[in-house]
Structure 1
Amino acid sequence: MRPSRILSSLLLSLALPLAAHAGQLTVSAAASLTDAFKEIGPRFEAARPGTTVRFNFAASGALLQQISQGAPADVFASADQATMDRGMKQNLLDTATRHDFAANSLVLIEPAQQGPEIRTLHDLNGPKVKRIAIGKVESVPVGAYTKQALETADLWPVLQSKFVQGDSVRQVLDYVSRGEVDAGFVYRTDAALMGNKVKIVMTVTGHTPVTYPVAVVADSRNKAAARDFVDYLQGAQAQAILARYGFSKP
């Protein structure tokens, strides 16, 4: 084979993996977005031929830690502003691409069949409630919202011995749906997914608004597609899907 053909073949072999990588978009998103984003992903792929979306769902704090440690990601969608703020301060995210795209609400739930019939937050301090599931305050936004609400109600210190901490809002939901705890704090959208297994006691107030920001990861290797995904989340099609899963506009 002539040297020119050898060189062309070598360049082509090197370019193919890069092209494949360029077509993949990795979106690290809060666990509460799982169902909505799994429906949004294929719609985005259809709107942007050649792009394949890969999702990584977990607690927002855990996802940010992964990004800080070099895990590949192109887009980060958080369930709170505080985690997004930390990412910005660490220069992990592109400030100019940050947008709020959804809102949610915090609810108190109990098992549908065996709940102790809680009516108010102060009932959690009663003898019938022995275990309360909450998200880990340091890494799970729903846990931080819960702490704010219980501090507002002067209940945080007296309830701490009852807390069972989950690694994500979905784990908290599982604890309640399986009857492993007497109550738990999740987002309304998550509670709706287990409507036959959990019961919403009340919408919880006394915390900062539950809003979801999204931004392009600073080290993204596919920034054009990442920006397109951020823009897509604000469009009519994605907003309609989010609304169907119970999210509201921020």
Structure 2
Amino acid sequence: MKRLLYFLFAVLLISLPSFSWAQFLTVSAAASLTDAFKELGVKFEAAHPDVTVRFNFAASGVLLQQIRQGAPVDVFASADEPTVSRGIEAGVLDGSTRRDFAANALVLIVPAGQASSVKRLSDLSTPEVRRIAIGKIPTVPVGRYTQEALEGAKLWTPLEPKFVQADSVRQVLDYVARGEAEAGFVYRTDAVLMPNDVRIVEVVSGHTPVTYPVVTVSASREQATAKAFIDYLVSPPAQAILKRYGFSQS
């Protein structure tokens, strides 16, 4: 009996190091990164067998609020620069690890299965367009890009009564895809995911370039792994995956 107990104890001691090396990496990322990051997470785990990547996808501003409130996050990837800058200024993000890893384009979309009078930005002023889906300005970067573009075109104030504000760029996409809005503003990478439901009318200009910065969270206990994930995002294999999903290099 004693020999059996010694044997079991020895097995336990041998197995302990493997448990101690198990790591979870929590990545909070902009909603527009959902599909690409799910694939990138699988590839990163394959190269780091002791790491499990957990994702939290939402609007960039919402994710920063969660981090500021103490959410246990290791890496933050935003769809805009100002959100990351606010986090760095607040001390919750480590500015020394900040990297830009992707870029995108703002597009105007309409439902694919319906006849639409919208051929260009100026057509949004016509009576046929009653609802225009946009991201919420305080928390959803695509909403701020939209505001910049429409203000530059002198259309923001005239169109404001038509706006239906969404909690994320994916919600904007859903509103238009379901025909609950006659038009909406999303990223090109989101629009191409639903070619049978939405149609791109115009690539919109007149706004700040859409770039994606990534940074480690200051309170992260997995700093080394978090930095390794950021390094992976800017590597050629990861960039090839992002390109396949429609992102361009920043």
Compute the TM-score of the two structures, normalised by the length of structure 2.
Answer: 0.92
CA distance in 2 between counterparts of 1:70 and 1:115 reads: 47
Q: Does 1:156 align with 2:151?
A: no
| Residue 140 (1) aligns with residue 140 (2) | yes
Q: Using the alignment, how far apart are the partners of 2:120 and 2:20 within structure 1?
A: 56
SS in 2 for 1:213: strand
Distance in 1 (alpha carbons) for counterparts of 2:121 and 2:20: 54
Deviations 1:149-177 (CA, angstroms, capped at 9, x unpaired): 00000011111110001000000000000
Distance of 1:204 and 1:129 partners within structure 2:
18
1-structure distance, mates of 2:215, 2:166: 26
Cα distance in 2 for partners of 1:105, 1:115 equals 24
1:59–1:141 Cα contact (<8 Å) kept: yes
Q: Distance in 2 between matches of 1:94 and 1:110?
A: 39
Residue of structure 1 equivalent to 2:4: none
> Which SS does the other structure have where 1:113 is aligned?
coil
Map of 2:52 onto structure 1: 52
**Paired residue for 2:210?**
210
Structure-2 residue corresponding to 1:241: 241
The ranges of structure 1 where at least 4 consecutive aligned residues each deviate by more than 3 angstroms after the TM superposition are none
Cα distance in 2 for partners of 1:202, 1:189 equals 14
Give the match for residue 166 of structure 2.
166
Q: What is the letter of the counterpart of residue 49 of structure 1?
A: P
1:71 aligned counterpart, secondary structure: coil
Aligned to 1:26: 26
CA distance in 2, matches of 1:107, 1:212: 17
Query: Structure 1: 5+ residue runs without aligned partners?
Result: 1-7
Q: Secondary structure at the match of 1:195?
A: coil
Q: Distance in 1 between matches of 2:81 and 2:216?
A: 15
Other-structure match for 1:4:
none
Show CA shifts across 1:42-85 (max 9, x none). 10011112000000000000000000000010000000001011
Determine if contact 1:30/1:79 at 8 Å carries over to the other structure: yes
Deviations 1:15-63 (A, max 9, x none): 89x937x600000000000000000001001111200000000000000
Structure 2 regions of 5+ residues with no counterpart?
1-8
Q: 2:3 matched to which residue of 1?
A: none
CA distance in 2, matches of 1:164, 1:224: 42
Structure 2: distance between partners of 1:64 and 1:238: 24
Report what 1:102 is aligned to.
102
Aligned residues: 240
1:115 shift after superposition: 4.3
Larger CA deviation: 92-101 vs 110-119: 110-119
Instruction: Report deviation, 1:122.
Output: 1.1
Note the aligned Cα RMSD (angstroms). 1.9
How many Å separate the matches in 2 of 1:136 and 1:59?
Answer: 9
Q: Which residue of 2 aligns with 1:114?
A: 114
1:81 matched to 2:81: yes
**Rounded Cα–Cα distance in structure 1 between residues aligned with 2:127 and 2:105:** 27
Under a length normalisation based on structure 1, what TM-score does the superposition of the two structures give?
0.92
Does the 8 Å CA contact 1:115/1:182 hold for their aligned counterparts? Answer: no
Distance 1:178 1:115 in 2: 14
Structure-2 separation of matches of 1:42 and 1:173 = 26
